[in-house]
A = this chain, B = another copy of it.
Amino acid sequence: MENTGVLKAGKILQRVVLNISQIMINRYAEVSGDFNPVHVDVEGAANSEFGGTIAHGCIPLEPLFQGLSEALRRPDLPLETQISVRYRKPSRPGDRIHLEARVLETGSDGNVKIAFSCVNQNEQAVLEGECLVPTENVRCEQKEPT
């Protein structure tokens, strides 16, 4: 698979949008098993120091995964993909998070460096970082025999 050509420096990735709702957070609690009250107890969280429920940390990262997938034209992350992320603000029900990402450089080794932010409706980055994605000689990892 050869994607370097479509991931030249300066390319802007698709502006993937994720609307965060309490229903989404509740569903994610079921997925993860993390039912901490700060995520799922709407009334309790409103009366706590947090002032309302907050999304699990994985949720606002999701637009990045979808943006990478679209840019790479493959559904999975290439093996050895590296993601570096810094959390800047919590995400809450009602937030509308979108991805802002662009290719910084494409190395001669086929590694593509991408800078990204996940930004809320108030133009505040809730998280930001960089990723390094191998795009040459990547293979799909077959299921191992069981």
Contact = CB atoms under 8 A, between A and B. Distances in A.
A90 B141 contact: yes
Nearest to A63: B32
A50 B90 contact: no
Contacts of A84: 82-85
A5 interface: no
Interface in A53-76: 54, 56-59, 61-62, 65-66, 69, 75-76
Interface in A67-107: 69, 75-90, 92
B76 A81 contact: no
A87 B77 contact: yes
A99 to B, nearest CB: 13
Interface in A5-30: 18, 24, 27-28, 30
Contacts of A141: 50, 89-90
A17 B143 CA distance: 22
Given A27-B30, A84-B84, 18 more contacts: A18-B32, A34-B66, A34-B69, A38-B76, A50-B140, A50-B142, A50-B143, A52-B143, A56-B62, A57-B65, A57-B76, A58-B65, A76-B90, A79-B87, A79-B89, A80-B86, A83-B83, A84-B85
11 contacts: A39-B75, A49-B140, A49-B142, A50-B76, A57-B65, A58-B58, A58-B62, A81-B87, A82-B86, A82-B87, A92-B143
